[in-house]
Amino acid sequence: MTATTQLIEPINVEQQAQVLDKTQATLRLAECEYGRRFPAIPVLFDLRGRCSGMYRVRGNEQVMRFNPHIFAKYFSDNLATTVPHEVAHYVSDCLYGLGNIRPHGDEWRQIMKVFKANDSRTATYDLSGIPTRRQRYFTYCCQCQSHRLSSRRHNKLTRGEVSYHCRQCGDSLRFVAACQGAT
């Protein structure tokens, strides 16, 4: 018997606006405390998997990403903890440079104190109903059936490092299509 889990819908636009407001308000607290401007940072609601939030730097591009499903399930808690958590990463990056400090070290904890936010990082959410990270699959076929290969195996095949054969018919696998599927 399998228990059916209700899939959680992502937060709606009004809740997204609340998250953006909270982000701005939290940044303003930092601006008062440190007496300087922290430029607005792009906020995306595209995070999947088991993390509630993420602060990411790629080149000069800084971005905060939130998980719209975990936020939907535990909205007020994420508003109170996850938003300041990621804003504190951004502020500590502006103040010290991420490479110079430990990610959740003294500097980051000091900023969380300014935000009066919980820095324990021990939230154990029940994540049933939260969609898992999307993984890419590649469809191959042989003479008798179609096969689903992970991108890791697909890349090996493309580079000619391996060849895969069907266990049923012994035919070598031929590439058909790439598809996006939930794990």
Residues lying near Zn ion in the complex (CB under 5 A): 142, 144, 166, 168-169
The CB-of-9 to Zn ion minimum distance in angstroms stands at 26
Annotated catalytic residue, options 9, 14, 86, 107: 86
Which residue of the chain is nearest Zn ion when measured via CB?
A: 166
Nearer to Zn ion among residue 3 and residue 121 (C-beta)? 121
75-108 burial, b at 16+ Cβ within 10 Å, e below that, comes to eeebbbbbbbbbbbbbbbbbbeebeeeeeeeebb
Strands (E) across 15-86 are located at: 43-44, 53-58, 61-66
* Nearest CA-CA partner of 9 in 53, 55, 67, 60: 67
Nearer to Zn ion among residue 11 and residue 111 (C-beta)? 111
The CB-of-57 to Zn ion minimum distance in angstroms stands at 13
The CB-of-7 to Zn ion minimum distance in angstroms stands at 27
Question: Can you tell me the distance from the alpha carbon of 61 to that of 83, in angstroms, rounded to the nearest whole number?
Answer: 19
Question: Can you tell me the distance from the alpha carbon of 12 to that of 68, in angstroms, rounded to the nearest whole number?
Answer: 9
Nearer to Zn ion among residue 83 and residue 142 (C-beta)? 142
Nearer to Zn ion among residue 169 and residue 176 (C-beta)? 169
The CB-of-96 to Zn ion minimum distance in angstroms stands at 15
Question: Can you tell me the distance from the alpha carbon of 177 to that of 154, in angstroms, rounded to the nearest whole number?
Answer: 11
Residue 50: helix, strand or coil by DSSP?
coil
Single-letter amino acid, residue 81: T
Say whether 86 is catalytic: yes
Helix axes 106-114, 13-34, angle to 10 degrees: 110
Catalytic residues: 86
